[in-house]
Amino acid sequence: MPGIERSLSAYLGSLPTLKYLFFGGKGGVGKTVMAGATALHLAQHGKRTLLASTNPVHSLSGLLDQNVYGRVVAVNGVPNLWAYEIDTKENIERSKQDIKQKIRWFLKFAEISSQADAFVESATMNPAFEESAMFESMVDLMFKDEYDAYVFDTAPTANARRLLGMSKVYSLWVNKMMKSREEARSLRELLSFTKKKEADPLMDYLVSFRERIAHARELLTDKARTAFFFVTLPEALPIAVIKRFIQWFHDFGIPVGGVVVNMLIQKDQVQPDSPEFVRNRVAMQDAYMQEIWRDFDGAVRAIVPLFDNEVRGVSGLTRVLPHAFTAQPGAAF
Ligand SMILES: Nc1ncnc2c1ncn2[C@@H]1O[C@H](COP(=O)(O)OP(=O)(O)O)[C@@H](O)[C@H]1O
Ligand SMILES: [Mg+2]
């Protein structure tokens, strides 16, 4: 049976500059758990680490048994580790207010008499806006650059791809907007008798926004600093999901760090007289493990067994560590 060519610990050890780690995959596969275990591992190796979630569900507080919602909190009993569940509602509300102000200003500037509120509602009442607000929160954290390592427990949907795709769309859109703003401004200046230059907050915003996006792309596509890891179970759907993700990420030039297989039933716990249900599941997992070895050749970084209980608290994460971070790179599970 093929083995792990390069374990998660070997991988992280060989990339000491790695700073932004992301975990993706289908819902329920163990992204929060793996992000938590990885953050714990980094903290134990002396890196000041922030475990952050942009997930609207209160996942990190639940994992850590500690309220880390809305602010950065030191994780009890673990030096070098902080956790932060971003209050997305608050961020979304703030972004809405911000956009509202800018639209109002713009409508006034352009002398368009229209109800700003209706316009704002239509611009902000869609899921893409929420994703964008979440993306902004994440990027803000990355830019602040206050920790040695950031581990992001990403949202369990295709959001990541949309967000990354959006950054391209954003730049196009912003470039276009800036061009027409420049044109409108020079026309206005041409027509006005007073030649004094007017302050243009919208233009300033667009310029800084474009810079932020360029910076975010630069960080997110930098192999030395960023890696996305994908978590799967030895099951059809989670495998299909991460195959798609990995393809998308390759297309966007986002570095893929590898694949973590979670919840593999330990064979030594299964006997011929074990319940048929269990034996069937083991056979099913065997078949999907074949597929995993075949299709993620060389990219499997860890195989974590199915525990007899859910993973809760630092003690739970500590239980995951020896499996997720096997010392020998060649060790097969
Ligand atoms: N290897 C494992 N063995 C047993 N339970 C696990 C394992 N990994 C994760 N879990 C449990 O499975 C559930 C889903 O894990 P979670 O990390 O929240 O998934 P996700 O973030 O991908 O939705 C949680 O209750 C977690 O404690
Ligand atoms: Mg989660």
- Residue 174 pLDDT greater than 80, yes or no: no
What pLDDT does 102 receive?
76
Report how far apart the first and last C-alpha atoms of the chain are (Å, whole number): 10
CA–centroid distance, residue 26 to ligand 1 (Å): 11
Cβ–ligand 1 contact at 65 (below 6 Å): no
What pLDDT does 332 receive?
38
Cβ–ligand 1 contact at 262 (below 6 Å): yes
- Structural tokens at position 252: 């966007």
235 contacts: CB under 8 Å, gap ≥ 6: 284, 285, 288
Give, using CA atoms, the residue closest to atom 24 of ligand 1. 310
Cβ–ligand 1 contact at 81 (below 6 Å): no
Locate the ligand 1 atom nearest the alpha carbon of residue 29 and give its number. 22
- Top-confidence range, 53-62, 188-197, 275-284: 275-284
**CA 124, 246, 217 angle in degrees (round to 5)?**
50
What pLDDT does 333 receive?
35
17 contacts: CB under 8 Å, gap ≥ 6: 224, 225
**CA 259, 265, 270 angle in degrees (round to 5)?**
155
Kindly report, residue by residue over 289-305, the tens digit of the pLDDT: 999 999 999 999 999 99
Cβ–ligand 1 contact at 226 (below 6 Å): no
Pocket test for ligand 1, best of 310, 314, 315, 323 (most atoms within 8 A of CB): 310
Domain ranges of the chain: 8-86+147-162+223-324
Locate the ligand 1 atom nearest the alpha carbon of residue 323 and give its number. 1
With bands split at pLDDT 50, 70 and 90, how would you rate the model's confidence at 88?
confident
How many CB atoms neighbour CB 3 within 10 A? 15
CA–centroid distance, residue 24 to ligand 2 (Å): 9
Number of helices (H), then strands (E), belonging to the chain: the values are 11, 8
What pLDDT does 156 receive?
42
Q: Do residues 38 and 8 lie in contact, with contact meaning Cβ atoms separated by under 8 Å?
A: yes
Cβ–ligand 1 contact at 304 (below 6 Å): yes
CA–centroid distance, residue 263 to ligand 1 (Å): 8
Kindly report, residue by residue over 219-273, the tens digit of the pLDDT: 888 999 999 999 999 999 999 999 998 998 888 888 999 999 999 999 998 999 9
Locate the ligand 1 atom nearest the alpha carbon of residue 35 and give its number. 17
In whole angstroms, give the CA distance from residue 88 to residue 109: 31
CA–centroid distance, residue 33 to ligand 2 (Å): 7
In whole angstroms, give the CA distance from residue 97 to residue 8: 42
Relative to beta strand 49-53, strand 20-24 is unpaired
Element (H, E) at 84: strand 81-85
CA distances from 140 to 18, 53, 136 (A): 18, 13, 6
288 contacts: CB under 8 Å, gap ≥ 6: 233, 234, 235, 236, 239
Question: What average pLDDT score do residues 200-210 get?
Answer: 76
- Residue 322 pLDDT greater than 50, yes or no: yes
Give, using CA atoms, the residue closest to atom 15 of ligand 1. 30
With bands split at pLDDT 50, 70 and 90, how would you rate the model's confidence at 185?
confident
Kindly report, residue by residue over 33-66, the tens digit of the pLDDT: 999 999 999 999 999 999 999 876 778 999 999 9
182 vs 169 pLDDT, higher one: 182
Q: What is the DSSP string of 85-109?
A: E--HHHHHHHHHHHHHHHHHHHHHH
Question: Which overall architecture, per CATH, does domain 8-86+147-162+223-324 show?
Answer: 3-Layer(aba) Sandwich (3.40)
With bands split at pLDDT 50, 70 and 90, how would you rate the model's confidence at 87?
confident
What pLDDT does 165 receive?
63
Cβ–ligand 1 contact at 307 (below 6 Å): yes
Average pLDDT over all residues of the chain: 85
- Residue 317 pLDDT greater than 50, yes or no: yes
Give, using CA atoms, the residue closest to atom 23 of ligand 1. 28
- Residue 164 pLDDT greater than 80, yes or no: no
Cβ–ligand 1 contact at 33 (below 6 Å): yes
**Percent above pLDDT 70 for the chain:** 85
Assign 231 to helix, strand or coil.
strand
Question: What average pLDDT score do residues 115-135 get?
Answer: 70
Nearest to 180 by CA among 126, 123, 109, 118: 109
Relative to beta strand 149-153, strand 49-53 is parallel
Question: What average pLDDT score do residues 102-120 get?
Answer: 70
Cβ–ligand 1 contact at 46 (below 6 Å): no
Pocket test for ligand 1, best of 311, 312, 321 (most atoms within 8 A of CB): 311
Which of 25-29, 73-77, 124-128 comes out lowest in average pLDDT? 124-128
**CA 90, 92, 95 angle in degrees (round to 5)?**
110
Which of 106-115, 277-286, 287-296 comes out lowest in average pLDDT? 106-115
Q: Is 277 left (phi over 0), alpha (psi -120 to 50) or beta?
A: alpha
Relative to beta strand 256-264, strand 81-85 is unpaired
Locate the ligand 1 atom nearest the alpha carbon of residue 25 and give its number. 22
CA distances from 273 to 46, 203, 226, 253, 276 (A): 46, 72, 47, 49, 8
What pLDDT does 331 receive?
41
In whole angstroms, give the CA distance from residue 43 to residue 12: 13
